[in-house]
Amino acid sequence: MTATTDGSTGALPPRAAAASDTDTETPVAAGVHEAAERAVRRATDFLLAKQDAQGWWKGDLETNVTMDAEDLLLRQFLGIRDEKTTQAAALFIRGEQREDGTWGTFYGAPGELSATVEAYVALRLAGDAPDAPHMAKASAWIRAQGGIAASRVFTRIWLALFGWWKWEDLPELPPELIYFPKWFPLNIYDFGCWARQTIVPLTIVSAKRPVRPAPFPLEELHTDPAHPNPPKPLAPAVSWEGAFQRLDKALHQLRKVAPRRLRRAAMNSAARWIIERQENDGCWGGIQPPAVYSVIALHLLGYDLEHPVMREGLASLDRFAVWREDGARMIEACQSPVWDTCLATIALVDAGVPADHPQLVRAADWMLGEEIVRPGDWAVKRPQLPPGGWAFEFHNDNYPDIDDTAEVVLALRRVRHPDPERVERAIGRGVRWNLGMQSRNGAWGAFDVDNTSPFPNRLPFCDFGEVIDPPSADVTAHVVEMLAVEGLAHDPRTRRGIQWLLAEQEPDGSWFGRWGVNYVYGTGSVVPALVAAGFPGSHPAIRRAVTWLESVQNDDGGWGEDLRSYRYVKEWSGKGASTASQTAWALMALLAAGERDSKAVERGIEWLAATQRADGSWDEPYFTGTGFPWDFSINYHLYRQVFPLTALGRYVHGEPFADRSGATLAEVKGS
């Protein structure tokens, strides 16, 4: 624990107390403090230099080669694939191949079958011969894993577009789904927004079952080319898997007798739904997969490539391309400017940049301009709630998210803006919207309220990633922290969120991280939130979290966690090579808990200072973000900058908003 200037025990007040501490520090601690100050200065200069003239920050959002492979397959399907794009994509894909011939889905990952199948097909499109050593190695591995038949449904859909797989051997997804009322199981609003935007266009693709002539055969990817589509045995009828398998068989039979007029009407209704949700930049939801499937679906319904909807949709996909110096072309699954900008603003202010610094004011102006002031799909569950949130991307007015909104409010609150009334109005709308998006259990999901139906995940079609959006500890923690800073820690709604967080703590003291890897992220999010809400560092939940973080600190002083913790919890929880972002998350929790003078914090700060590069940046090849835990991983290239700067800044200057919790522990316990 750290003593404050008034002799009490608690979090450090900003700025002044930290300076007084240096007078009594031991030589070792003083040396760490000086190293931290130097690292803060270098990192601040680096981050300020990365800001766009309009006020935003955006780092590359790196995922895996399926994005690049599917981009080429889309262009092949539409007849617009060109040699320059193809070879640039192939250069990137080849560069990601592992020594064993496979492709993984994150740095250091094991080979992944579907990613390897798609990468292989993309390289065949680029002209790589199947008997080339790198291709032969890949195809041999694919066969050893069960071949195309063992790949996920989405991979086989792409192959079916060219006759490399039979449509009748894929799960059925009828377009009549669009007519299911909102109270009916498996209506489109039972799915998370990212899945909903993908499934609606895929109902059209599934109904149309298009096949373009395959440019080459793929017999080398089957275990038995004579019988490439082996039937899958039925699970027992009394099991959920068996029940949904039989439902799928019934849907295949229904396809044969469904009234054609109804099916045409359903597809047209789905098309209207898609077009209504196209963003101003031509994309859908600001993410690549729904845009790809929406373009295919509309094309199948007769929209030619020069139609404004199609033209703008295709143009938006080009904006997901990152061209590298070596000529390689990487496709981002999404872009994260709002998220990156609010996190960068928080980092810079907490690092000591004046709150009225022109670049921070410019960032605040840009964020204020990105506020979403019209209803989106979230209004299906909350029709009376006024809008007022922020999305993740440049353009995504249909799907603001709760996490971004909370962090934007925290960022705006740090900036001394020349028009404070404008800021207050925006913050007020954001707080009101976030409170209105609270789920029944007291917690918050990312995009929707009570998006917890047990049925979507059981569909045979949904064999990849998360398709629902239940509340998570990290999002709930960010909302609680924001509400506490806004003086609402005593509000009954905030206290319900706190109670949910306390109940969700793992037996070892950690919290699960849904949108970041993993228990280090969850714990790094929850502890600062609880402290902001008035919990002292001596609270048992916080002490358990501190003990866990200290127990998983690496020998080098940093923290890391491999994505395998999502699949193999006991072996990988809190374990992995040290990374800048994960070390920062652990430090943010420990600092909030009052552990500034602890050996664990000292070693973590030393690791960050020692691993910083001369230009003020950090290197981080590891993936520490998630789209879907384990299945779809993200390397946010700005995480390695904003989070270390935040942690170092709080070490040097103290905790932000230390005196603004607005509640006492007694109030929280009394809820």
* Residue 628, beta-bridge partner list: 632
Neighbouring residues of 291: CB distance < 8 A, sequence distance ≥ 6: 283, 284, 285, 313, 316, 317
Q: What does the pLDDT read at residue 662?
A: 39
Bridge partners of residue 3, in order along the sequence? 9
Query: Is position 46 within any domain?
Result: yes
Strand, helix or coil for residue 192: coil
Domain that holds residue 555: 31-59+336-454+474-669
Residue 8 lies in a domain: no
Instruction: Please indicate, yes or no, whether residues 48 and 146 belong to a single structural domain of this protein.
Output: no
State the total domains in the chain.
Answer: 2
Task: Judge if 112 and 174 occupy the same domain.
Answer: yes
Same domain, 315 and 373: no
Mean model confidence pLDDT for the chain = 91
Q: Which two tokens stand for residue 668?
A: 């929280």
What are the C-alpha distances in Å from 195 to residues 229, 336, 461? 26, 19, 11
**62 alpha-carbon distance from chain centroid:** 11
- Residue-wise pLDDT for 432-491, tens only, equals 999 999 999 999 999 999 999 988 888 877 788 889 999 999 999 999 999 999 999 999
For residues 311 and 412, state if they share a domain: no
Are 284 and 357 within one domain? no
Residue 279 dihedral angles phi and psi, to the nearest 5°: -80, 170
- Where is the domain boundary, 296, 331, 366? 331
Amino acid 27: pLDDT? 58
Q: 292 and 357 share a domain?
A: no
| 271-286 residue pLDDT tens | 999 999 999 999 999 8
Q: What is the mean pLDDT of residues 588-614?
A: 97
The answer to whether residue 493 is domain-embedded is yes
Active site residue 128: no
Identify whether residues 301 and 345 lie together within a single domain.
Answer: no
Residue 28's pLDDT is 59
Residue 372 lies in a domain: yes
pLDDT of residue 658: 63
CA angle, residues 262, 244, 471, in degrees to nearest 5: 95
Task: Note whether 164 and 283 are same-domain residues.
Answer: yes
Choose, from 397, 403, 469, 562, the residue flagged as catalytic.
Answer: 403
Please give the Cα distance from 91 to 330 (Å, whole number). Answer: 9
In a domain, 598, yes or no: yes
Is position 4 within any domain?
A: no
Give the strands of the sheet with 632-636, arranged side by side.
Answer: 61-62, 632-636, 625-628
Residue 52 sits in the same domain as residue 79: no
Same domain, 287 and 409: no
69-108 pLDDT, tens digit each = 999 999 999 999 999 999 999 999 999 999 999 999 999 9
Domain boundary residue, one of 299, 331, 363: 331
CA angle 514, 520, 522 (to 5 degrees): 40
Q: What is the DSSP string of 468-524?
A: SB---HHHHHHHHHHHHHTT-TTSHHHHHHHHHHHHH--TTS----SSBSSHHHHHH
- CATH code, domain carrying 377: 1.50.10.20
My answer on whether 303 and 342 are in the same domain is no
CB neighbour list of residue 314: distance below 8 Å, 6 or more residues apart: 78, 80, 282, 295, 305
400 and 258 in a common domain: no
Give the pLDDT confidence score for residue 24 in this predicted structure. 46
- The reply to whether 18 falls in a domain is no
Domain final residue pick, 331, 358, 382: 331
The string of pLDDT tens digits covering residues 406-430 is 999 999 999 999 999 999 999 999 9
CA 11 centroid distance within chain: 30
Return the exposure string of 340-353: e unless at least 16 CB atoms fall within 10 Å of the residue's CB, then b.
Answer: bbbbbbbbbbbbbb
Q: Does residue 193 lie within any of the structural domains?
A: yes
Ramachandran region of residue 55, left (φ > 0), alpha (ψ -120 to 50) or beta? left
**Host H or E run for residue 199:** helix 193-208
